[in-house]
Structure 1
Amino acid sequence: MSMHHIGVDLGGTKVDITLSGAAIEKPLWRDRKPTVTDKGPGGLIAQLATMIQEARAKADGPTTVGLGLPGSIDPQSGEVRNCVMPWLDGTPLPALLSQAVGAPVAFINDAQAFALSEANFGAGRNARIVLGITIGTGVGGGWVIDGRVQAGRHGIAGEIGHIAVEMSGRECYCGRRGCLEQYLSGTALERRYYELTGRNTRLAVIAERAGSGDVVAASVLAEMVEAFGVGVGSLVNAFDPDVIVVGGGVSLLPILFDAGRTALARQAMAVPFKTPVVRAKLGDASGVFGAALIGRQSQA
Structure 2
Amino acid sequence: MSKTIFITGASKGFGRIWTEAFLQRGDKVAASARNIETLQELAAQYPDTLLPIQLDVNDRAASFAAVQQAAAHFGSLDVVINNAGYGLFGTIEETSEKEARDQIETNVFGLLWVTQAAIPVMRAQGGGHILQVSSVLGVATLPVLGLYNASKWAVEGLSETLATEVKDFGIKITLVEPNGFSTDWGGASAVHSEPIALYDGVKAALYAGLTPDTIGDPAATSDAILKVVDEENPPLRIFLGKVGLPWLSQVYADRLATWEEWKEVADAAHGGAAVGEITA
**TM-score for the superposition, normalised by structure 2:** 0.38
Q: Which has the higher helix share?
A: 2
Bigger relative contact order, structure 1 or 2, given CA contacts below 8 A and separation 6+?
1
Q: Which has the higher strand share?
A: 1
**TM-score for the superposition, normalised by structure 1:** 0.36
